[in-house]
Amino acid sequence: MCGILAVFRYQGDMDVYRQHALDMSKKLRHRGPDWSGCVVKGDSIMCHERLAIVGVDTGAQPLTNADETLVLGVNGEIYNHKALEKTLKNPVQFKTHSDCEIIMHLYNEIGTDVVKQLDGMFSFVLLDTKQNRLIAARDPIGITTLYQGFDSRHPETIFFASELKALNEDCDRIIAFPPGHVFDSATGLTNPYFEPHWYNPDVIPTAPVDYPRLRESLIQAVRKRLMSEVPYGVLLSGGLDSSLIASIAVREARKISASDTSDWEDNADLSGPRGWPKLHSFSVGLPGSPDLAAAKEVAKFLKTIHHSYTFTVQEGHDALADVIYHLETYDVTTIRASTPMYLLSRKVKSTGVKMVLSGEGSDEIFGGYLYFHYAPNAAELHRETLTRVKNLHTSDCLRANKSTMAWGLEARVPFLDQDFLATSMSIDPQQKVSDPTHMEKYIIRRAFDAEQLRLDGAADTTPYLPDNILWRQKEQFSDGVGYSWIDSLRDLAERKVTDEAFAARSERWPADTPQTKEAFYYRHLFEISYPQAACSQSVVRWVPRTDWGCSDDPSGRAQKIHSAAY
């Protein structure tokens, strides 16, 4: 991934403004420490901070076409770039080996419909100088981040950036650009382009679970994300999701490095396993945490090169201000989980690894959070999974993107693959209901269970994971790193926030008023970095489903079903 900044129809002296735009872009350099680029065309400017993962030798951005009438800045990865190259009707001389250059050439042929052809995680801004037209788009789920800014003094000027911090001093209104949408300056409209059949909350799916299809869909999702010209690894918490991704990655890398590529050879970029066949795994926790022990067991089983790191409660507390600066949110759940991930990401980057696979998305798809046990019926469970998937860009995707990119580390999330989503979100939600005989996420566990592999006649029935990992109870990351982590955050807030200040919280923040001292403290730290009124407009707090009768505390241990509930 990278950092992009674009200003369209700037009103003023562009020669003078160029340096200011470079300064704005510099605030994103942690996302792209490998190179910086800037292109000015008329009254528009585009800057780019590059993290080189694919096309390392030639992929510096912003990209331009042969006659430089198109300028493109992209944050993300296009996994089907090789297949898309074959769809071009007109001969094109590619200037780079970047997976992103295809966007520009497809736009030349099919216009904004290019977004419907892309399989990947991406945010991009494309300037068409012939038409003085700007196109901006974000991937369907919002795995990558993108913000749009406005200045009421110059309403004709439009700003885009990968993070809020590049815009907060220049814009008096900032929004998180919606996932699955495309903006076209020719119409001034932002329209949805991602509207799959499973998106309608009024239609409850009825398809029975097809275990071979579910399994193969996830395998292919992992396989296509092994595209990398640099060292890569997997974030391994020891929970089901990251362990399953790691297991699949190990198997697929082994096949690819052995040249067992079958029909994928011409359709996918399999550069990762060919250059880096041995998978590295990374885990983090407080000393003695349940995640560290489980991750170590999984790594031994999979024979990964494992790196296990510990942090202290004090180190976590010391990082909070920096974490909130990078996250650009004051949501309690996101900050709790992001702090260990932020600390781990720095350790990962120090090893030379620049890309990791991660397990976000599974809990939203399969109703894996323990509060889903309180769903009143299957239909409501499905609607809640749909709501959570649609809002991943405000929570887990935001966390995974910004916690890692704070250190120039790219995280890829196979569970949010478009084909896998189409398969898994079309399953009858009754199959996702948790009960005494079916624990949370039963069907995805069952899909990779050795007994199910044998029933399906799979060619390889070797267990993907030890049974005690495959069937381990859901442990939220902020709990799994060590139960004392969340407890310490509450204690810290109790010391930092006086009773008098807390009692007056609604006067300080009449909108989105914090309800706990912990939430108050995070809001306070957020305003130190982002005092402008526009900055809180893009923040969304995750609120538990108290109407289902579950606790309003977002921790998994707050739910009675947890084996170590408090």
β-strands 181-184, 232-235: how paired? unpaired
Residue entry with tokens 């990762």: 272
Is 164 annotated as belonging to a binding site?
A: no
Is 359 annotated as belonging to a binding site?
A: yes
Is 114 annotated as belonging to a binding site?
A: no
Catalytic residue from among 2, 47, 397, 535: 2
Is 56 annotated as belonging to a binding site?
A: no
| 535 catalytic per annotation | no
The two tokens of residue 427 are 């399953």
Is 501 exposed, middle or buried (CB count within 10 Å of its CB: 0-12, 13-18, 19+)?
A: middle
Inter-residue contact 529 to 329 (CB < 8 Å): no
Terminal Cα distance for the chain, rounded: 39
Q: Report the alpha-carbon distance of residue 563 to residue 557 in Å, rounded.
A: 8
Q: Which residues contact 356 (CB under 8 A, 6 or more apart)?
A: 232, 233, 234, 235, 282, 348, 404, 409, 410, 411, 412
Q: How far is CA 11 from the centre of its chain?
A: 34
What's the farthest any 2 CA atoms get from each other in the chain? 70
Residue entry with tokens 């420490």: 33
Inter-residue contact 362 to 241 (CB < 8 Å): yes
β-strands 70-78, 3-8: how paired? unpaired
Cis bond upstream, residue 436 (ω within 30): no
Is 5 annotated as belonging to a binding site?
A: no
Packing angle of the helix pair 483-496, 517-529 (nearest 10 deg): 70
Q: Report the alpha-carbon distance of residue 342 to residue 398 in Å, rounded.
A: 12
β-strands 305-310, 280-285: how paired? parallel
Task: Give all strands of the β-sheet with 3-8 in edge-to-edge order.
Answer: 35-41, 44-50, 3-8, 158-161, 147-150, 173-176
Q: Which residues are catalytic?
A: 2
Q: Residues annotated as binding site for L-glutamine?
A: 99
Q: Residues annotated as binding site for ATP?
A: 235, 284, 358-359
Q: Residues annotated as binding site?
A: 99, 235, 284, 358-359
